[in-house]
């Protein structure tokens, strides 16, 4: 897949604001600071399409980016700033849960985790939540430039075991700094969108 055009459409605070053009959507989930905005920018070859290092966990907005006038990337609110107990009590936020459970256009979720660290309790809870609701979920280990190539396999293995990702589901590595993994992530997006 090649991204020729990427356009920010809306930062939605309520479902009435979601696009109604019925294009296939892939949502991106991950802890605040995992590198989600940087990845969206890198994939789209745009430096400031998605806002990086924004104040975390403040507003529950869903950001819709229209790609090639045919698909959407949906940037979900970063999680993990509230304590785990608070997160469990409050859920992921009614808006995000409602979107993930009731959006016919949603083709899958890409969950980002930091390659350097074992997935957090929130990462595990998110992955379990997505699989529980039978949402197609792929995992990407971000910031792969932060560890040497020779260490990638070992870290990916820890991520796979901690999240309990079945062996037929690939875990991709990606770096917004070097572009490592970009083609694979674009292929994954194309696959999920159904190109
Ligand atoms: P978000 O909160 O998930 O959207 O994370 P951001 O994209 O804002 O990134 C958080 C921080 O990590 C920023 O300081 C980025 O420059 C840095 N960062 C993001 N991706 C990478 C990466 O692939 N490699 C490195 N070295 N730093 C990254």
Give domain status of residue 145, yes or no: yes
- Per-residue HEC secondary structure of 68-90 comes to CCCEEEEECCCECCCCHHHHHHH
The two tokens of residue 151 are 């260490």
Q: Is 102 exposed, middle or buried (0-12, 13-18, 19+ CB in 10 A)?
A: exposed
Q: Ligand 1: residues within 6 Å at CB?
A: 30, 32-38, 52-53, 78, 142-143, 145-146, 175-177
Going from the first residue of the chain to its last (195 residues), give the mean pLDDT of each consecutive group of 10, the final group possibly shorter: 96 94 97 95 94 59 96 91 54 84 97 98 94 97 98 98 96 98 98 95
Count the domains in the chain: 1
pLDDT computed for residue 166 by the predictor: 96
Q: Which atom of ligand 1 sits closest to the CA of residue 41?
A: 7
pLDDT computed for residue 61 by the predictor: 87
pLDDT computed for residue 13 by the predictor: 87
pLDDT computed for residue 124 by the predictor: 96
Can you give the CATH number for the domain in which 21 is found? Answer: 3.40.50.300
pLDDT computed for residue 117 by the predictor: 98
- Best residue for ligand 1 mutational test, from 32, 33, 63 (most atoms within 8 Å of Cβ): 33
Give domain status of residue 33, yes or no: yes
Q: Which atom of ligand 1 sits closest to the CA of residue 36?
A: 3
pLDDT computed for residue 58 by the predictor: 52
SS3 176: coil
Give domain status of residue 1, yes or no: no
- Best residue for ligand 1 mutational test, from 52, 111, 142 (most atoms within 8 Å of Cβ): 52
**Closest residue by CA, ligand 1 atom 15:** 35
Helices (H), the chain: 36-43, 84-90, 94-101, 121-132, 152-163, 182-193
Compute the distance from residue 150 Cα to the ligand 1 centre, in Å: 22
Compute the distance from residue 95 Cα to the ligand 1 centre, in Å: 25
Beta-carbon contacts of residue 141 (< 8 Å; ≥ 6 apart): 112, 113, 114, 115, 152, 155, 156, 159, 171, 172, 173, 174
The Cα–Cα gap between 72 and 66 comes to: 5
pLDDT computed for residue 52 by the predictor: 67
pLDDT computed for residue 132 by the predictor: 95
Which residue segment(s) compose the domain that 157 sits in?
6-193
Give domain status of residue 96, yes or no: yes
């Amino acid at each position: 897949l090649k991204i020729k055009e990427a356009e920010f459409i809306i930062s939605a605070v309520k479902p009435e604001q979601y696009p109604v053009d019925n294009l296939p959507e892939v949502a991106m989930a991950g802890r605040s600071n995992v590198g989600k905005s940087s990845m969206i920018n890198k994939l789209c070859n745009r430096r400031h399409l998605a806002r990086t290092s924004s104040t975390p966990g403040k507003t529950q907005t869903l950001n819709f980016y229209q790609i090639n006038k045919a698909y959407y990337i949906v940037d979900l609110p970063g999680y993990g700033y509230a304590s785990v107990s608070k997160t469990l009590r409050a859920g992921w936020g009614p808006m995000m849960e409602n979107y993930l459970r009731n959006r016919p256009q949603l083709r899958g979720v890409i969950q980002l985790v930091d390659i350097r660290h074992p997935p957090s309790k929130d990462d595990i809870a998110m992955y379990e939540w997505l699989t529980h609701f039978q949402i197609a979920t792929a995992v990407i280990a971000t910031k792969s430039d932060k560890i040497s190539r020779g260490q990638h396999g070992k870290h990916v293995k820890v991520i796979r075991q901690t999240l309990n990702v079945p062996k037929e589901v690939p875990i991709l590595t990606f770096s917004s700094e070097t572009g490592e993994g970009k083609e694979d992530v674009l292929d994954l997006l194309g696959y999920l969108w159904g190109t």
